[in-house]
Amino acid sequence: MGGGGREHTLCWALRRENPDADLYCAPGNPGTAELARNLPIQADDLDRIADAADMHGIDLTVVGPEAPLARGLADRLRAEGRAVFGPSAAAAQLESSKAFAKEVMASAGIPTAASRAFDDLDAALAYVGRHPEPLVVKASGLAGGKGAVVCATRREAADAVRAMLGERSFGVAGQTIVVESFLQGEEISVLAITDGRELELLPVSQDHKRLLEGDRGPNTGGMGAYTPVAVATPALLDRVRREVLLPALEEMRHRETPYRGLLYAGLMIDADDAPWVVEFNCRLGDPETQVVLPLVSRGLTDCLRRAARGDAPSRLGLSGDASVTTVLASRGYPDAPETGAPIAIPARLPDGVIVFHAGTSRGADGVLRVAGGRVLNVTAVAPTFEEARRLSRETAAAIEFEGKIYRHDIGWREAARRMEVGSER
pLDDT of amino acid 425: 41
Helix or strand holding residue 37 (H, E): strand 37-38
Residue 423: which residues within 8 A CB-CB, separation 6 or more? none
pLDDT of residue 422: 64
E-strand spans in 130-274?
135-139, 148-151, 177-181, 186-194, 199-201, 206-207, 210-212, 216-219, 224-227, 261-269
Return the pLDDT at 267. Answer: 98
In this prediction, residue 20 carries a pLDDT of: 96
Length of the chain: 425
The pLDDT score that the predictor gives to residue 288 is 98
pLDDT, residue 424, reads: 47
Nearest 10 degrees: Cα torsion 110, 114, 117, 122: 180
Taking the C-alpha atoms of residue 5 and residue 28, their distance in angstroms, rounded to an integer, is 9
C-alpha–C-alpha distance, residues 308 and 260, integer Å: 7
What pLDDT does residue 153 have?
96
Q: Is the dihedral of CA 75, 81, 85, 91 positive or negative?
A: positive
Helix-strand-coil split of the chain, %, nearest 5: 35, 25, 40
What is the per-residue pLDDT for 146? 75
| Regions of the chain short of the pLDDT cut 50 | 424-425
Say if CB 70 and CB 99 are below 8 A apart. no
Domains of the chain and any CATH numbers: 5-85 (3.40.50.20), 114-181 (3.30.1490.20), 186-424 (3.30.470.20)
Q: Buried b / exposed e across 45-78, counting CB within 10 Å, b at 16+?
A: bbeebbebbeeeebeebbbbbbbbbbbbbbbbbb
Q: How far apart are alpha carbons 99 and 142 in whole angstroms?
A: 12
Q: DSSP readout, 353-413?
A: EEEEESSEEE-TT--EEE-SSEEEEEEEEESSHHHHHHHHHHHHHH-B-TT-B--S-TTHH
The DSSP secondary structure of 74-104, one letter per residue, reads HHHHHHTT-EEES--TTTTHHHH-HHHHHHH
What span, in angstroms and rounded, lies between the C-alpha atoms of 58 and 42?
17
